[in-house]
């Protein structure tokens, strides 16, 4: 964490105030329901994670941006592959 130091000359007292940058806050993940919005978000994403669920056949696509983790759930592998062809970031499979 960063700290800012203030000096009071009359008392020669140092006052440290902890500054928590906004980017270091832990924010909750966000779910996206529109494929086009997900593709648009992929332009600023660092990478895209692909996680498949064997039991019900759904595939979760996750975009990691600097601040948020966005998730898109699709019904089958064919639809997921179609979305992955359009994303503009590196793809990692889990």
Whole-number Cα distances in Å, 57 to 5, 66, 77, 82: 55, 29, 8, 16
Architecture of domain 25-93: 2-Layer Sandwich (3.30)
Give the DSSP H/E element, type plus range, for residue 16.
strand 13-19
pLDDT tens, position by position, 42-87? 999 999 999 998 889 899 999 999 999 999 999 989 999 999 999 9
Task: Tell me the domain boundaries of the chain.
Answer: 25-93
Given this model, what pLDDT does residue 20 score?
46
pTM: 0.70
Which residues, including other chains, have CB under 8 Å from residue 26's CB and lie 6 or more apart? none
Give the DSSP H/E element, type plus range, for residue 8.
strand 2-8
16 pLDDT above the threshold of 50: no
Given this model, what pLDDT does residue 18 score?
47
């Amino acid at each position: 964490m960063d700290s800012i130091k203030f000096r009071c000359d009359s008392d020669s007292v140092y006052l440290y105030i902890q500054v928590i940058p906004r980017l270091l806050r832990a924010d909750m993940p966000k779910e996206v329901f529109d494929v086009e919005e997900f593709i648009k978000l992929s332009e600023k994403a660092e990478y895209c994670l692909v996680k498949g669920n064997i039991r019900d056949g759904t595939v979760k696509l996750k975009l990691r941006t600097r601040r948020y983790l966005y998730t898109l759930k699709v019904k089958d592998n064919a639809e997921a592959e179609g979305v992955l062809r359009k994303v503009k970031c590196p793809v990692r499979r889990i």
